[in-house]
Amino acid sequence: MRESTNQSGFTLIELIIAIAIIAILAAIAIPSYTQYTTKARYSEVVLAAQPVKIGVEQCYQVRSALADCDGGSYGVPANVSGAAGAVNTISTADGVITVTPDATNGIVAGDTYILTPTAASPMTWVASGGGVTNGYTQ
């Protein structure tokens, strides 16, 4: 009488299919994760503009002219160069705020964040620059 032996394990085809599925999932997930982390790092650049934005709004309420709202005047924070963190420079001219990021962690210096105010009450802001074009602010 012949005894049957049960062999357990995976065949080569099953292993190849499992590896192929993992490779496809990784090919989809890695670019999404990279974009997500870049957006998270860029949020520090966006947040750096907020105090300056408040200063420009206060300047406009007092002076009624955006031309007076430069860095370091009428309540607008002074221009910053060599800032710590993800921000390299923050400058304000005629109410327009320009934040230049440090070229690090997938963000380049050309990924600027520019906020342009409209002289109206209430003041509205339009964001532009390389970071907005690349979709880092959404």
CATH number at residue 40: 3.30.700.10
18-41 burial string, b = 16+ CB within 10 Å, else e? Answer: eeeeeeeeeeeeeeeeeeeebbeb
Q: Is residue 16 part of a domain?
A: yes
Query: How many structural domains are present in the chain?
Result: 1
Q: Which domain holds residue 68?
A: 12-133
CB 137 within 8 A of CB 131: yes
Q: Is residue 3 part of a domain?
A: no
Q: Is residue 4 part of a domain?
A: no
What pTM value is reported for the model? 0.75
Per-residue pLDDT of the chain (138 residues; tens, 9 = 90+): 666 677 778 889 999 999 999 999 999 988 888 888 888 888 899 998 999 999 999 999 998 889 989 999 988 999 988 877 788 899 999 999 999 998 887 888 889 999 999 988 788 999 999 988 888 887
Long-range contact set of residues 92-96: C-beta below 8 Å, sequence gap at least 24 = 92/52, 92/55, 92/56, 94/66, 94/67, 94/69, 94/70, 95/56, 95/59, 95/60, 95/66, 95/67, 95/69, 95/119
